[in-house]
Structure 1
Amino acid sequence: MITDPEIDGGWDTAGTAQPPQEFAPGGRAATAGASTARPWLWALGGVVVASAVWAGGLYAFGDRLSEPTLSYRASKNLCEDFKARTLSGLTGDLHKNRPVNEESSHPAVYGAVCVLENGGDGPRDFTVGVQVDLHKKTDPSAEFDVPPLELIAYTGDLRTEEVPGLGERAVMTAPAGDQTLALKVLDGGAVFSLQANAATFEEKNGRPATDATAVQAAMIEDMRALMTALRK
């Protein structure tokens, strides 16, 4: 079983190894032969939070609706900026297959998305999607706590934990009984989102078993590298 890197306690990627994080219902580990994970859940865009205004025209959110100072540049090719080296070490080269790369420029938000798969000519059982939204008009912190709605729609309840030491705020989210992990980071007027979807974390197709804790740690490290690459 691949267990390096692993998370010690509060998502500290430099700590000692801990038992794998469980996501199957009832605290039971996912078993081999489990049904294939749901199709890739990814959509460019976000949730628009309605603005409350006073009769005099003052915003209820105050300075949260002021134009933020962006600390990150726009990515013209997010699949080139997102190397996914740590995740590739667990799952196989995620850049071997042709990636899906899209950008969307809007006066309010500049968005870029990249979707990668492992496998090459072999079985493809791990998909990663990363998205970067640069908010040019309003501070995105007001809506940061909105959970990934596409995950709720497919899986119901979610478990969310804070990830310290990454950006201004960061959270890791996982639905019970599914093999999808989502990491979201708020920093410098930008929102970074990373989802990893595995058909199974068990040994499969000759590849050693990968535990969820190692995937979480790899997501954090690859996200940190992406933020460094895009910082102005």
Structure 2
Amino acid sequence: MITDPELDGEWDTAERAEPAEPLAPRERAAAAAARPWLWALGGVVVASAVWAGGLYALGDRLAAPTVAYRATKNLCADFKAQSLSGITGDLRKRPVNKEVSHPAVDAAACVMNNVPDSPGDFYVYVNTELHKKADPATEFDVPSVDDLANVGDLRTEEVPDLGERAVMTSWAGEQGLNLKVLDGGAVFNLRVFATTFSEKGGRPATDSNAVQAAMVQDVRELMAALRK
């Protein structure tokens, strides 16, 4: 047990220092005038140490993240959409693909729907962002422009066991769904809009829960395909 050395005498030295000689009045005044400068210097040293320690602690956040995923050259080819296609019908008949490479972010997007030659009833948009300069975790909770357009009609819930973080956002009576995943310096977005969950054109009726489960599975497979 750690005790107060002044109470039990365990920290006494073999020899005690002799009392200092009293200072003359003029010397006492000079010493008193010097003390504020010593305290100020001590404050500067402590503040500098705290500031330096803060920068050291912040270093990991300021450093560029290690990206655990490769840049895709054809996201529509890498995104198989097998689970969603089992519900909506084939989404891959005429996909539209786009990639952008920038020093800060490598991004790719793919747009699909289940009836390519006429208005479909399921529209799918998937995109990936590989952040090479800054950790995307700091902005993960910022809503997208599309989400802001649906303010007042949004419902968001965490999706467990998918990446570092994952959230599912729904709107328009759950006919609009967006799955957003953060993992390894990358952000994955999968957005689905269904004009109807009822049977249509030979497609069986479905529900929002089944579509959400399919979205999670398809994004999980995309992440595995792009993992370095």
TM-score (norm 1): 0.71
Select the residue among 60, 64, 72 that pairs with 1:75: 72
Distance 1:61 1:211 in 2: 45
- 8 Å contact 1:159–1:173 — kept in the other structure? yes
Shift of 1:66: 1.4
Select the residue among 128, 136, 140 that pairs with 1:144: 140
Larger RCO: 1 or 2 (CA < 8 Å, sep 6+)? 1
- 8 Å contact 2:174–2:208 — kept in the other structure? no
2:123 — aligned with what? 127
Distance change (3 Å), C-alpha of 1:155 and 1:118: farther
- 8 Å contact 2:122–2:192 — kept in the other structure? yes
Correspondence list, 1:35-184, <5 A: 62-96=59-93, 98-121=94-117, 124-177=120-173, 179-184=175-180
Shift of 1:152: 2.3
The yes-or-no answer on 1:212 pairing with 2:208 is yes
The yes-or-no answer on 1:226 pairing with 2:219 is no
Shift of 1:178: 5.3
What are structure 2's unaligned runs of at least 5 residues?
1-50
Q: Partner letter of residue 100 of structure 1? A: V
Shift of 1:147: 2.2
Q: Partner letter of residue 140 of structure 2? A: F
- 8 Å contact 2:179–2:190 — kept in the other structure? yes
Shift of 1:64: 2.3
Distance 1:59 1:129 in 2: 40
1:124-164 Cα distance to aligned partner (Å, 9 max, x none): 11111110000000100000011233122145341111111
Distance 1:227 1:149 in 2: 24
- 8 Å contact 1:133–1:191 — kept in the other structure? yes
Q: Secondary structure at the match of 1:71?
A: coil
Aligned length: 177
Q: Partner letter of residue 148 of structure 1? A: S
Q: Secondary structure at the match of 1:111?
A: strand
Shift of 1:61: 6.2
Q: Partner letter of residue 230 of structure 1? A: L
Q: Secondary structure at the match of 1:226?
A: helix
Distance 1:178 1:100 in 2: 25
Shift of 1:59: 10
Report the more deviating stretch, 190-199 or 148-157.
Answer: 148-157
Question: Percent of pairs identical after alignment?
Answer: 66
Q: Partner letter of residue 82 of structure 2? A: R
